[in-house]
Structure 1
């Protein structure tokens, strides 16, 4: 069975003669690695190396597409446009491209539904748009508005994104909330673990901080996936950890998804947090958060 959710994302379209050279100097990823069968995770930082957005990049025929949550896309769009006036690059927040999340037990179910095949690729261009394989059984679609009806003839699309957000949290895929922009360097949200940082591409905004974190071992935080059986946690900002008989601030929450299964929480915590740690939501003493295993290693 395949579930479909509308995703609260926006797409920034970067076009113009200088689009590659300009964007290459702004993001953590090497744009030379983009091709018709590959999308890339990437980050967009301020001068201090703090993230404005974590996003996915696609190279289309005449432009780059930057996919991110609404708050991240709005921030990156504003910053890219601000400094792009000095280059031959154009920027647009698309009103006609939409993102749909598909969830299944395996990617093969989604391939069958859409009549596509990923093979060794993580990006497929097909008659409805683009399909990005984020993890096994987790595929994001980029579809033009006039193609939505064709997709809806194949599957019912739910208006909310809770199931999708929960699935991405379980998969350890980072997304920043409006409250956590300008707060974390890329390694603090595990961007290096999902291949979202190139350490060989040369200079980009914030690169000095990102390199220092890697080569001097200065990063002490990471993004964790947490789970609570309670279904009453709809909003929260901080996680606390039990140390002896006391509770201390452990870190900041970036996302919460309440589902029938329970509540999935994504939070940035000390990178030595163990799976046995006793955690709770700040100001919610009866809550109990379990650390769930990430599908990748946090080692460089």
Structure 2
């Protein structure tokens, strides 16, 4: 169990050290990505930033990410910092056959902001996007609107960019507040603890518009499509609350009344009531049968997600966001 103070501050601005960026540049960048990722890469048009994922040939997720197009031959992937190097090394095996360069950006400053986003954007010469999943960018920075009940944005720029970041927090409690918004949005970022473990649908990725079922082949596509069209996905991401003094580690089992594992924790955060909220990949029978749940001996309760578990085509999502 990880230890983090249970106090959850309001969403101000915070360094998102748990995230990182991978740039893909070159004349073949789009063609290269098209063969590797679940997104229809052409939808990343400098405004819409589709969710995406990378899979093994068996359809298991190596990483999930958000895909931004920053220029004609320049794409950026935002993902867990624990998967930055492994994804880059995996993709390099295929990039060798394309005019495409992979650039890890471990020193790029990623800041999550609520009320302070406007001030930061003004300093960067950026307009804040008002639609979730869209972004604006210039030569030095980009900003993307994130989901959540509280309006929030992620900004990324180089450390040497002249921006006043004195008020930006860099502590676990502030990052907890940001991750709590992710959890309440039903958005889980895969980490190295569970890499090569889940089908994308197990993280509700198609319900978030993160899988195109209309594009051509990509690594793992056949397995992902077969699981969808044959209804073979028996595990789903669910939101849960539990009374706990510390955060459960990723992979911690959620059990039923017979002490049988029916799910595993993906991400967790403290809420303002002194308890823990988490996202867990669960057997779908749990919700159907209203099974009693327990985590580390404490009763746990299912909470609603803000979206239906049904397919959302990113092509249609792009049309609605692009107007």
Structure 2 length-normalised TM: 0.82
Question: For residues 204 and 111 of structure 2, what CA distance do their matches in structure 1 show?
Answer: 24
Residue 138 of structure 1 deviates from its aligned partner by 2.9
Q: Check 1:103–1:227 CA distance in 2 against 1; reply closer, same or farther (3 A cut).
A: farther
User: Residue 319 of structure 2 corresponds to which residue in structure 1?
Assistant: none
| Residues in 2 aligned to 1:114 and 1:218: alpha-carbon distance in whole angstroms | 44
CA contact (8 A) 2:19 2:110 kept: yes
- Asked if residue 273 in structure 1 is aligned to residue 286 in structure 2, the reply is yes
1:1-300 alignment runs, 5 A limit: 2-7=11-16, 8-61=18-71, 62-103=73-114, 110-111=117-118, 114-115=121-122, 116-120=127-131, 122-125=134-137, 129-136=141-148, 137-147=151-161, 150-152=163-165, 155-160=167-172, 161-235=175-249, 237-243=251-257, 246-258=258-270, 261-274=274-287, 276-281=290-295, 284-285=296-297, 287-300=298-311
Whether the 8 Å CA contact 1:67–1:73 is kept in 2: the answer is no
- Compare 71-80 and 189-198 and name the one that shifted more: 71-80
Secondary structure of the 2:287 match is: coil
The separation in 1 between residues aligned to 2:193 and 2:107, in whole angstroms, is 27
Show structure 1 runs of 4+ deviating over 6 A: none
Superposed displacement of residue 267, structure 1: 1.1
Change in 2 beyond 3 A, CA 1:201/1:142: same
For the 8 Å contact 2:237–2:279, the answer to whether it is kept is yes
- The unaligned stretches of length 5 or more in structure 1 are none
SS for the counterpart of 1:158 is coil
How far has the Cα of 1:213 moved from its partner?
A: 1.2
More strand by share: 1
203-212 or 271-280, which deviates more:
271-280
CA distance in 2, matches of 1:119, 1:183: 34
Q: Give the deviation of 1:87 after TM superposition.
A: 1.7
Q: TM-score, normalised by structure 1?
A: 0.88
For residues 114 and 245 of structure 2, the distance between their equivalents in structure 1, rounded to whole angstroms, comes to 21
Cα distance change of structure 1 residues 188 and 236 upon mapping to structure 2, 3 Å threshold = closer
How far apart, in 1, do the equivalents of 2:35 and 2:209 lie? 18
The RMSD of aligned alpha carbons is: 2.3
Q: C-alpha offsets along residues 118-141 of structure 1, whole Å, 9 cap, x if unaligned?
A: 245721226862111121423211
Work out the CA distance in 2 between the residues paired with 1:125 and 1:15.
16
- Structure 2: distance between partners of 1:11 and 1:98: 9
- The total of aligned residue pairs comes to 289
User: How many Å apart are 1:298 and its aligned residue?
Assistant: 0.6
8 Å CA contact 1:2, 1:110 repeated in 2: no
